[in-house]
Amino acid sequence: MKAVSTISGTMLPLDRADVDTDQIIPQQFLKRIERDGYGEFLFYNWAHTDDGTPSSDFIINDPARRGAKVLVAGPNFGCGSSREHAPWAIQQWGFEAVITPSAADIFRNNSSFSGLLVVELAQDAVNRLIELASSPSAEVRIDLESQTVTADGLEERFEFDPTAKERLLQGLDGVGVTLTHADTIAAHEATRAAHLPVTIEASHT
Amino acid sequence: MTAPRTLFEKVWDGHIVVDSDPTLLYADLHLVHEVTSPQSFAGLNASGRKVRRPDLTVATVDHGIPTTGRALGIRDPLSKKQIDALVQNCLDHQITMFGLDDPRQGIVHVVGPEQGLTQPGLLIVCGDSHTSTHGAFGALAFGIGTTEVEHVLATQTIWQAKPQTMAVEVEGALPWGVAAKDLILGIIAQIGVSGGTRHVIEYRGQAIHDLTMEQRMTICNMSIEGGARAGMIAPDEVTIRYIEGRPFAPKGKRWDEAVETWESLVTDSDAVFDKVAGIDAARLVPHVSWGVNPAQTVPVTGQVPSPDSYDDPLQRDAAVRALEYMALRPGTPMFDIAVDHVFLGSCTNGRIEDLRAAAKVIEGRKVDSRVSAVVVPGSMQVKAQAEAEGLHDVFESAGFSWRDAGCSSCLAMNPDVIPSGERCASTSNRNYEGRQGRGARTHLVSPAMAAAAAVAGHFVDVREWEAS
């Protein structure tokens, strides 16, 4: 995973509540076995008409928004399906961060592993950013180290899971970090009760 | 003396490997399917790592598989590639797999409990948000993403920020003709689609303990639709009777040890929850969703609401967009909404009791000529059981199509796509835009309500039918 520390760039506002991961990346695009190739399908059903042509009235198709780095969205962003293809699609379109009043639990977790910075700010601050973002050139700066968001007339601190912060700042491989605890894992395994199930039938006698 | 603890806290504490925030937890059971695992295995292989505990891992295929004509093979080349990848990964890593030709194949959340793998007190993970289903047994079970799937494959552990606890107290008894699906839709309507965020819900109260295991699974399954990390129900006699004798259930002395452990898995009487919600089951009526999230529901006796009934401007805007997508007008009685399709199945309502409830409604009746109705059993075992009971005859003579097991139209990754602009009464869990196909309009209902809608061609109050 690529390290993440500060993100500066323009915003794209999506002022809707409860945006589910089915909207972020619809099911017909989940059949790939690779981690890439999802960016062009971001918000596909909202971004395209029935015959597959881009809908001119959906903001993501506005050429002035093409270089946006921060998606500013309504509350409960990323609810529903656990598909990690959702943060992948957001990143592969070009976003590096999402700012929302609240993210759904699985989406927040998944993003922290795929290197998408998800920042939760109070609804008032998000409303202010959405207002600013009506101008395609308005910029925002997110500093993960100091956990602050700054934009024109706005400076907000945000909460962030300390372990996820470390992982993002250093671009760490999660498995590698956990395996430094291999002895502790083995010690826990040794205490597991004999009645716990195993999935291998041969050992089940 | 230890402080009083909730059921969730007892299960959490028993799985701590590294006691920090977030906490490293040990996973007792890892369920795998074809859609969220190929990139995980690819990552594992690229780093030269092995599956730490293939004996705690089990796979099946469910999301992308066809429900008809399986003998002809998978026609969708992308789905075929995805399924072939899982077969190969399970072979390479010696993981037990209930594949397409296995009589135990089915939706991962139907198969785990059916095989007796899902047991009280376990920590269960799967790359699927409806993993919350397994909480019905008093397991702590939650959905994870693809990177976490790789992490669990490699380490059998998972990092988790400790969620808060939420009690949903269900008092009274479910009235006759009102299903577990109506109860969970009622709960979600009350707490909202994010009411459970950062929380694990414990469903409590007499109404919950009066439910069968399959009804409890319907409840816990949709915890994620209330935003919760997981849903749990304390194990009791009903749970123990359900598990006993299943293929992967403990046997002999180990059974006795297991039962003794399971009986301790209850919330202590003076334990405190971070949040509490209450609902009176006795006042519930059958629910139908009118909008595009599972909180946008009304009683079937009600009407499509007006966006003006919402105080929150974001929810009002959401209602306006939902009405447009669903092509509905405020004030329309739910009885007046005609359906084109009926889908009976999914990890929410694809079990034998769901099929029995629907069959009871349609017995001796015919599906309306304008409706296309399908039954997709949750597993091939459910299918076999239904056929042994003759339910397939009831469905087929009424005009339902009788299919093989899979997720099917719940998320339309397979050929069972609802056409754009058409309306489906569905026993599944999500009525999101495009969920059952681009432009498809989903109405969530219970199995009996779906069956009645198939016959009538529009929504009806199944309580009146069952009385007649």
> What's the confidence (pLDDT) of residue A203?
39
ipTM of the complex: 0.95
Closest chain B residue by Cα to residue A203: B55
Q: What percent of chain A has pLDDT over 70?
A: 98
Q: What percent of chain B has pLDDT over 90?
A: 98
Contact between A45 and B26 using a beta-carbon 8 Å cutoff? no
Return the C-alpha torsion angle B237, B242, B244, B250, nearest 10.
-100
φ and ψ of A190, to 5 deg? -65, -20
| Average pLDDT over every residue of B189-216 | 97
> What's the confidence (pLDDT) of residue A205?
38
Contact between B318 and A18 using a beta-carbon 8 Å cutoff? yes
Residues forming beta bridges with residue B342, ordered by sequence position: B373, B425
Q: Which residues of A touch B82 (CB under 8 A)?
A: 31, 33
Please give the sequence-ordered ranges of beta strands (E in DSSP) within B268-418, or none if there are none: 275-280, 287-289, 297-299, 341-345, 372-376, 401-402
> What's the confidence (pLDDT) of residue A130?
98
> What's the confidence (pLDDT) of residue B466?
67
Contact between A199 and B293 using a beta-carbon 8 Å cutoff? no
DSSP 8-state symbol, B428: S
pLDDT of B1 over the 80 cut: no
| Average pLDDT over every residue of B121-138 | 98
Burial B37-71 (b: 16+ CB within 10 A, else e): bbbbbbbbeeeebebbbbbbbbbbbbbbbbbbeee
List the single residue in B82, B157, B224 with the smallest CB-CB distance to A178: B157
List the single residue in B64, B146, B434 with the smallest CB-CB distance to A45: B434
pLDDT of B387 over the 50 cut: yes
pLDDT of A124 over the 60 cut: yes
Contact between A18 and B155 using a beta-carbon 8 Å cutoff? no
Closest chain B residue by Cα to residue A16: B314
| Average pLDDT over every residue of B159-175 | 96
Contact between B430 and A20 using a beta-carbon 8 Å cutoff? yes
- The CA distance from B301 to the nearest CA of chain A, in Å, is 27
pLDDT tens digits for B286-330?
A: 999 999 999 999 999 999 999 999 999 999 999 999 999 999 999
Q: Which residues of A touch B38 (CB under 8 A)?
A: 33
Cβ atoms B83, B65 nearer than 8 A: yes
pLDDT tens digits for B24-46?
A: 999 999 999 999 999 999 999 99
| Average pLDDT over every residue of B83-92 | 98
Q: Which of A15, A22, A31, A185 to mutate to test the interface with B (most CBs of B within 10 A)?
A: A31
pLDDT of B260 over the 90 cut: yes
Q: Which of B151, B314, B413, B418 to mutate to test the interface with A (most CBs of A within 10 A)?
A: B314
pLDDT tens digits for A173-202?
A: 889 889 999 999 999 999 999 999 999 974
Q: Which of A199, A201, A203, A205 to mutate to test the interface with B (most CBs of B within 10 A)?
A: A199
Contact between B144 and A106 using a beta-carbon 8 Å cutoff? yes
Contact between B433 and A161 using a beta-carbon 8 Å cutoff? no
List the single residue in B18, B49, B154 with the smallest CB-CB distance to A181: B18
| Average pLDDT over every residue of B373-384 | 98
Q: Which of B160, B296, B432 to mutate to test the interface with A (most CBs of A within 10 A)?
A: B432
Measure Cα distances from B355 to A45, B134, B382 in Å: 33, 20, 9
Cβ atoms B165, B273 nearer than 8 A: yes
Contact between A16 and B49 using a beta-carbon 8 Å cutoff? no
Q: Which residues of B touch A100 (CB under 8 A)?
A: none
pLDDT of B467 over the 90 cut: no
Contact between B64 and A31 using a beta-carbon 8 Å cutoff? yes
Contact between A82 and B144 using a beta-carbon 8 Å cutoff? yes
pLDDT tens digits for A137-162?
A: 999 999 999 999 999 999 999 999 99
List the single residue in B143, B159, B250 with the smallest CB-CB distance to A163: B159
Cα–chain center distance at A164: 12
Whether the CA torsion B105, B110, B115, B120 is positive or negative: it is: positive
List the single residue in B26, B127, B225 with the smallest CB-CB distance to A188: B26
Closest chain A residue by Cα to residue B254: A195
Q: Which residues of B touch A102 (CB under 8 A)?
A: 194, 197
- The CA distance from B205 to the nearest CA of chain A, in Å, is 27
pLDDT-based confidence at residue B180 (cuts at 50, 70, 90): very high
Q: Six-digit token pair at A30?
A: 């989940």
> What's the confidence (pLDDT) of residue A201?
73
Q: What percent of chain B has pLDDT over 70?
A: 99
List the single residue in A109, A161, A193 with the smallest CB-CB distance to B145: A109
List the single residue in B142, B255, B433 with the smallest CB-CB distance to A23: B433
pLDDT of B115 over the 80 cut: yes
Report the predicted TM-score, pTM, of the whole model to 2 decimal places: 0.97
List the single residue in B161, B163, B430 with the smallest CB-CB distance to A161: B161
pLDDT tens digits for B394-420?
A: 999 999 999 999 999 999 999 999 999
Cβ atoms B105, B16 nearer than 8 A: no
Q: Which of A2, A14, A18, A161 to mutate to test the interface with B (most CBs of B within 10 A)?
A: A18
> What's the confidence (pLDDT) of residue B71?
87
| Average pLDDT over every residue of B361-367 | 97
